[in-house]
Amino acid sequence: MEDRLSLPVAAVSCRDYRDTALELKLAEVISAVNGLDALKPGARVGIKANLVSAMAPEKAATTHPALLSALVRILLGRGASEVIVGDSPGGLYTPAFVSRVYRASGMDAVIKAGGRLNEDFGQKEGYLKGARVARSFTYTSWIDGVDLLINVSKLKSHGMMGMSNAVKNLFGIVPGTMKPEYHFRFPDHGTFADMLIDLAEFARPVLSITDAIVGMEGNGPTQGSPREIGLILASRSPYNLDLVAAEIIGLSANDVPTLTAATRRGLSPERAKDVELLFGEPLPRLPGFRHVAVRHSLSFSGNRGPLGRAFSFVARRALTSRPTVRRGCIGCKKCAEICPARAIVMKNSKPVIDRTSCIRCFCCQEFCPVGAMQVHRTAIARLLTKQK
């Protein structure tokens, strides 16, 4: 049996989506990790892209169509009979809504490359024996219609999980309108991370690829700023891939709940330096990469007695990050509509957050169309960690 902990990560430098060698470079990292060994002639291949919202490629919120098109050509050249690109964005999982996302994110390029876009909007109930938290769940049935699934993510900062990459991308197998329900079912960051790991274990992509040519920093995963990273990465382990990607943007396993969960479950090493990196050269650690200011590891549950419990309550209130409405709010009600805890109401055309009901899932921050909802760290938390 293959040792999943030892699966390597390959990386290659690629600075531009217009690079004439992009397809060759992508093929290089795939070949280095034996990523298509399971591909048989005539196989139907599904590509799970990150198409989180109807946003243009230059916004760096979605997997770039140039990379997806190159992958389609590689797969068809290797004998695949059909290549299907799909995702379930945040919102209605309907042909009209998803087609709008396809158009905005430049997915017509996939069709020109010989692939097709998913048009099966069915849903099924899934069950995973041995799951930690998500023993049963609803998933998009299109992934059952392919012989192999390839996971192609975008490297971004993330409001709840610290980083969005390979593992987080597989949350897209849950129909869009059901995602808030899963946030409500698993409101604790650690439990939510375990749910994401369960989904990754169910989907079991044969290969995970990271579009890190241009990633997103700051108010990610949708309203941050594009940041040139200049890399394509690949691995047959989404966990090892995430561990290396986190190191590149200045995060450790302790900063990313999905990596903490993967390490605890024996699915990845604790440190990126324990992952075999192919192509030899040390990967860059980007200077000044701006993260969403969230801390997940603060816990005061061990304090007992009235004074201890009082300290825990005050400390959590003083140190916990929370969504906050900043300038630029257009009163669109999107945050109130998507909030799984119904913690946001509109007053005088502006959102007001009930802090006692907020579960800190940051859906409001993720799907605010103008970036007016942002993650806010308290002054005490910034002082203690010397961050602004």
Residues 79, 38: Cα–Cα separation, whole Å: 12
Q: For residue 26, give the H/E element and its range.
A: helix 22-32
Residue 182 sits at φ, ψ, to 5 deg, of -70, -35
Q: Can you give the pLDDT at residue 238?
A: 98
What is the DSSP secondary-structure string of 261-277? HHHHTTSS-SSGGGS-E
- Are 62 and 52 in contact by the 8 Å Cβ rule? The answer is yes
Does residue 296 surpass a pLDDT of 70?
no
Question: Which tens digits make up the pLDDT trace of 194-225?
Answer: 999 999 999 999 999 999 999 999 999 999 99
- Does residue 230 carry a pLDDT above 60? yes
Strand partners, 323: 375
**pLDDT value at residue 294:** 58
> Over 60: is that where the pLDDT of 171 sits?
yes
Give every CB contact of residue 31 below 8 A, 6+ residues apart in sequence: none
User: Could you tell me if 251 and 244 are in contact, meaning their C-beta atoms sit under 8 angstroms apart?
Assistant: no
- The 10 Å Cβ neighbour count of residue 58 is 11
Has residue 96 got a pLDDT over 50? yes
Higher pLDDT, 1 or 23: 23
Q: What mean pLDDT, rounded, does the chain reach?
A: 90
Note whether 234 and 208 are within 8 A (CB): yes
Q: What is the per-residue pLDDT across 349-386, written as a single tens digit (0 to 9) for each?
A: 999 999 888 988 888 988 899 989 887 755 544 454 44
Q: Are 229 and 291 in contact (CB under 8 A)?
A: no
Which pLDDT score is estimated for 280? 59
User: What are the structural domains of the chain?
Assistant: 4-278 (3.40.50), 306-385 (3.30.70.20)
159: nearest Cα among 218, 117, 104: 218
Report CA-CA distances (Å) from 350 to 160, 180, 224, 326: 23, 21, 22, 11
Q: 44 — phi, psi (to 5°)?
A: -95, 125
The reported pLDDT for the residue numbered 297 is 41
